[in-house]
Amino acid sequence: MLRAYVWLYLAFLFLPILMITLFAFHATSALSFPFEGFGLRWFREILGNDRFIGALKNSVIVASATSVITCLLGTFAALAFPRLSERPRAALGFLGFAPIVLPGLFLGIALLVLFERLGIFRSLVTVIIGHTLFCLPFFIETVRTRVAYFDAELELAARDLGAGPFTTFRLVTLPILMPTLLAGTILVFALSFDEIVITVFIIGDQSTLPFFILSMMRRTVNPTINAVSVLAMLLTLTMLLVAGGILWMQRRRAIQRRVSDKEIPQ
Amino acid sequence: MFAYAKTLRDNRRERTGVLFALPVVLFLIAFFIVPTVLLFVFSFWQSRSFVLVPDASLTNYIDALTRPAFRQTILTGLTIGLGTATVATVLSYPVAWFIAYRTRTNLLLYIIMLSWFSSYLVRIFAWRTILGTNGLINSALLSLGVIDAPLEILIFSPLAVTITLVHIFVPFTLLLLLSALRNVTPDFLAAARDLGASRMKVFFRVTLPIAYKGFVGSFMFTFILAAGDFITPQLLGGRTGITTGLLISNQFRQTGNWPSGAAMAFILMAVFLVVYFVLVQVLRWFRLSPGLRFHPPVEELRAEMAQAKEA
């Protein structure tokens, strides 16, 4: 009974997406059944669209920059938590989490007002700032839970054994946190790649992929939207699978290493 | 001597902590705190023929609150938000329960999360295709002869917006519910069942009090995300589905009145806060929040136990 319900739930989640994928390969422009055969017409059409290619390129630039900046800022923030005493820690926790609680709309208009007052020209840079603000809480929360489980004594032990702070970070902290950092960064990339709510307010003349899709959706019901959607989902899916693969391989390597360490007499 | 060395090391550790936190704190002050304060200040300014005039009046707030059309958008937003949050929570709870207590791997969770990453706009477009005048449901019903003319209510209505938002946010709701349920270890449930509590009672007396924060958080998050959304109402809401979020976004995107939009945004925030307090209060009334004072008095418990023995 419950099992059947779970299947229904999955169907509710995935059938609409599968439908979009199906219609992306539709030979005709009809968006209803009966299905009239497969074709790549819509993909050819969209891949020949320069504005689409430009938007895709911009999205990759924005998502990459957002990932790198968020990862740098967020990792240091996550590492700061166990080092701070109670009150600053609570303050940092609150500040780092607060942007999540507000709807994207609020962040978007607040940033728009700031950029306008400061006379900052709206461009991909402002979009990257907005995306970083939106993604930081997700990243910090992800890494913070891992850092909380991480034994701080390990760092202290390394220091006692004579390693400098930088060596300790490189040889102890970073390897332990690496999988989490990677997962968090991929999450940020995916979030940024799909972000539209804040973007609409702080984007300049250029266009990101979701912004391009939105302007298409506002104009007409155009079957090429299906093809664009499928390409966007494919990209995100590939990223997630690659990240999953890397994590899995790392875990296997770690397990192997643990076994081989025991065999080497020291 | 040792204690002294330890404090020295702790001091240094704390200093590194402050140093590590500094970049993110500066970033958040510059791009979160300052803009929010600025927006708040803006909400008291005036816009006279598209020129912003510094002011300190409540005109924008009063104007908005006295306009029936604005109050209507608040109601629409609340309906959509509460509807979405309720449906998403009710739909997700059994699945979260299933993942928490009936599966060993997280595979199912990963699969569900995958749908979360399948683009927000794509899902709006999918529901437009399904619910549209020439959409799947209408064309299916027409060809079956159930209806003579396409159902217009399906698309461009608060209903269409709610269905779509449920679909968009349900994985997120599930994730939060699941992490709340992870705090309720199966041992607690088994113990309560062994002591003779019914499934209902286990839920209300054990699960809910322990996972209370997570449940409320998951409901509120879904509510805020749904009620604050403006792109779905814009694309699927039609004339009856205009929410405050959409109104605010229009003020800021077209040649609108920014100070008025800022005031509306803070009114919306206040409404969210009110919803939170009402939710907490309602749960308290129904004695569903945790806390010692809500436990039934000992006599009541004894009576219940005696009853259970007889049965």
ipTM of the complex: 0.88
CB of A101 within 8 Å of a chain B CB? The answer is yes
Predicted confidence band of residue A250 (pLDDT cuts 50, 70, 90): confident
Q: What is the mean pLDDT of chain A?
A: 86
Phi, psi (5° rounding) for residue B24? Answer: -70, -35
A16, A72, A77: residue with CB nearest B123: A16
Q: What is the pLDDT of residue B285?
A: 85
Q: Are A106 and B265 in contact (CB under 8 A)?
A: yes
Contacts of A80 in chain B (CB under 8 A): 17-21, 24
Phi, psi (5° rounding) for residue A208? Answer: -100, 170
Note the CATH architecture for domain B69-310.
Answer: Orthogonal Bundle (1.10)
Contacting B residues, span 82-121, partner chain A, CB-CB under 8 Å: 91-92, 94-95, 97-98, 102, 108, 110-112, 114-115, 117-121
Query: Quick one: CA dihedral A202, A203, A205, A210, positive or negative?
Result: negative
Assign B48 to helix, strand or coil: strand
- Residue A258 pLDDT more than 70? no
CA B24-B175-A110 angle, to 5 degrees, is 40
Q: Select the residue from A100, A106, A236 to test the B interface by mutation, using most B Cβ atoms within 10 A.
A: A106
A58-207 carries CATH number 3.30.460.80: no
Contact B27 A132 (CB under 8 A): yes
Determine the Cα–Cα distance for residues B179 and B159; give it in Å rounded to an integer.
29
Q: Domain residues of chain B, as ranges?
A: 69-310
pLDDT mean over A58-79: 94
pLDDT mean over A191-195: 91
Instruction: Quick: pLDDT tens for A117-134.
Output: 899 889 999 999 999 999
Q: What is the pLDDT along chain B (311 residues), one digit of tens a residue?
A: 444 555 666 777 788 889 999 999 999 999 999 999 999 998 999 887 777 778 888 888 998 899 998 999 999 999 999 999 999 999 999 999 999 988 888 888 888 888 877 788 889 989 988 888 777 788 788 888 777 777 777 788 899 999 999 999 999 999 999 988 988 888 888 888 888 888 888 888 888 888 888 899 999 999 999 999 999 999 998 888 889 999 999 988 866 788 999 999 999 999 999 999 999 999 888 877 776 555 566 677 777 778 877 76
Q: What is the pLDDT of residue B227?
A: 93
CB of A229 within 8 Å of a chain B CB? The answer is yes
With CA atoms as reference, report the closest residue to A184 among A135, A152, A142.
A142
In 10 A of CB A50, how many CB atoms?
A: 7
Q: What is the pLDDT of residue A262?
A: 54
Length of chain A: 266
Q: Domain residues of chain A, as ranges?
A: 58-207
